[in-house]
Structure 1
Amino acid sequence: MNFAITIAGSDSSSGAGIQEDLKTCTALGVYCFTVITSVTAQNTFQVTAIHDIPADIVEKQIDAIMADFSVKYGKTGMLSNEDIVRSVSKKISEYDLKIVVDPVIVSKSGAILLREDAVSALKRYLIPVAFFVTPNKEEAERITGIEIKGQKDMEEAARIIHEMGARYVVVKGGHLMGEMVVDVYYDGNIFRKFKFPRINTKNTHGAGCTLSSAIASYLARYDNPIKSFTLARKFMQKTIEKSLEIGHGHGPLNPMYRIWKF
């Protein structure tokens, strides 16, 4: 059986966070363990409250899983404060986990999910132990300090993040303009561009969670970085095509589209 671990926040609307990770991993045939870092009260248009789990409890969740199961791959999502970032980074190193870091900074509705002290900790502690890092335009700008206007800037951001220690970097281009969405993949040697038609929908809540957990799932299955990203990106495209028109804001993707019929 293939295993993955998600270390992320809980989304009460089930469109992002560990709920979306669970759906994605399950859809891709991977058993997913969960470590909850924060509990959020949110829906498709706002986040009304955030409660962070104490860092020592986050660590104990990871320890409990690793004491019983052989887990190699996983992902991180919302790590909202410095203590949690440092604790998770320590455990990634301790257990030699290959982790896809989704550097969640702002929610789809605009809520700040990563405090300023945690941004610095992410760069200092988490990125150096990351296997993959998958920032969108705004996240890459915050991490690198450069303004991203086009593909050359995306390449430069990917190079900087790789130099921070990440093995593989994907700078996502969904927040840039254009009929095609271009993602830049960098392995330290070669830049690869992945192009997909832009889908005209507002229902993209949880897109970053879906992609990162899909990469982790395919890594658990194939242990091949470029193949895993390629399959994960194609899967995410389909989940956007099949996204759900629910709620009054940004509806969620539908990673269970092969199972659920609406």
Structure 2
Amino acid sequence: MRKKVLTIAGSDSSGGAGIQADLKTFHEHGVYGISSLTTVVAMDPDNGWAHNVFPMELHTVKEQLKTAISLNINALKTGMLGSPDIITAAAEVIDQANIPVVIDPVMVCKGEDDVLHPENLESLRKTLVPRATITTPNLFEAAKLAGYRLITTVEELENAAKIIHESGAQHVLIKAGKLVDDTKATDLLYDGEQFHYIQTDNVNTSYVHGAGCSYSAAITAEIANGKSVIEAVTSAKAFITSAVKEGFPLNQYVGPVYQKAIHKEAINVKVTTK
């Protein structure tokens, strides 16, 4: 039977990120996508593509989650949540469902500089991350979750992974980019015992809108399909590298990745464990 996967996230009106990216990625991985909207994000073409964020009412989010949980989902992921109350509602669904959970701790819209309000960050750290089968922060998000100002060295990268794991996440995947090797796109997967460095050749492009959402969605789908966490991450790394290679300009402001596994089989993913 086809697996059913839920995304609890925001809507990107440009179609590149958020639930739009998640649902495209789910479809490409052969799972049935279900969504619960937390926010709607619109971009103003008359004001430099400025992001305008419109949160959903808590009752509306809860009613969507009630629908989703009734469908006997096999895995779920979270993205932009927007408030401590919505984070709590997501946590309640996670506890009720008892399924694999991917927490993508989205803190800012691309192009925005402000981190989540402090109470939202604290709710992510204390309420949601401890429920994660795997959490997938980028360097900025990992620094905030670990209590660092910035992560600038490999030592800090590994220490941040340890701190986040100690907060309760079973696995921590930090998307480190060029921090380890400026010719490689490197991610660090930590399972509490070993560090797995997962690398592909760096793709020189600025068309990466939606990459984080698509990556975590691919991991979620692969776990739902029965793969182990490291197998899911390795497969998803090839998928997102392929998607980035096929990125394209949408307008003068943004270029999304293309959630299609065109080059996936040709992508060389190197895993080094220590």
Question: Same fold by TM (over 0.5)?
Answer: yes
Question: Aligned residue for 2:265?
Answer: none
2:242 & 2:72 partners in 1: Cα distance? 30
Cα-to-partner distance string for 1:164-193 (whole Å, 9 max, x where unaligned) = 110111011126371212110011111100
How far did residue 111 of structure 1 move?
5.1
How far did residue 17 of structure 1 move?
0.3
Alignment of 1:49 with 2:60, yes or no, is no
Q: Would the aligned equivalents of 2:51 and 2:112 in 1 still touch at CA under 8 Å?
A: no
User: In the TM superposition, what are the counterparts of 1:161-200 in structure 2 within 5 Å?
Assistant: 161-174=164-177, 176=179, 178-200=182-204
Cα-to-partner distance string for 1:46-69 (whole Å, 9 max, x where unaligned) = 3431111122321221111221x2
2:44 & 2:232 partners in 1: Cα distance? 30
How far did residue 238 of structure 1 move?
0.4
How far did residue 249 of structure 1 move?
2.0
Alignment of 1:144 with 2:140, yes or no, is no
Structure 2 unmatched ranges of 5 or more: 263-274
With a CA cutoff of 8 Å and minimum separation of 6, indicate the structure with the bigger relative contact order. 1
Q: Would the aligned equivalents of 1:6 and 1:34 in 2 still touch at CA under 8 Å?
A: yes
How far did residue 119 of structure 1 move?
0.5
Letter in 2 for 1:156: N
Structure 1 unmatched ranges of 5 or more: none
Q: Would the aligned equivalents of 1:104 and 1:113 in 2 still touch at CA under 8 Å?
A: no
Question: Does 18-27 or 167-176 show the bigger shift?
Answer: 167-176
Question: Aligned residue for 1:128?
Answer: 130
Cα-to-partner distance string for 1:184-221 (whole Å, 9 max, x where unaligned) = 00111111001121111111111110100000010111
Cα-to-partner distance string for 1:212-233 (whole Å, 9 max, x where unaligned) = 0000010111241111111001
1:155 & 1:183 partners in 2: Cα distance? 11
1:203 & 1:113 partners in 2: Cα distance? 22
Alignment of 1:94 with 2:96, yes or no, is yes
Change (3 A) 1:174 1:249: farther
TM-score, scaled relative to structure 2: 0.89
SS of equivalent to 2:258: coil
How far did residue 40 of structure 1 move?
0.9
Question: Does 203-212 or 101-110 show the bigger shift?
Answer: 101-110
2:113 & 2:64 partners in 1: Cα distance? 26
Letter in 2 for 1:145: G
User: In the TM superposition, what are the counterparts of 1:1-262 in structure 2 within 5 Å?
Assistant: 1-42=2-43, 46-67=49-70, 69-110=71-112, 112=114, 114-146=116-148, 147-174=150-177, 176=179, 178-256=182-260, 258=262
Letter in 1 for 2:111: S
**Moved segments of 4+, more than 6 Å:** none
Q: Percent identity?
A: 33
1:219 & 1:134 partners in 2: Cα distance? 14
1:175 & 1:204 partners in 2: Cα distance? 15
SS of equivalent to 1:160: helix
Q: Would the aligned equivalents of 1:106 and 1:112 in 2 still touch at CA under 8 Å?
A: yes
1:130 & 1:71 partners in 2: Cα distance? 16
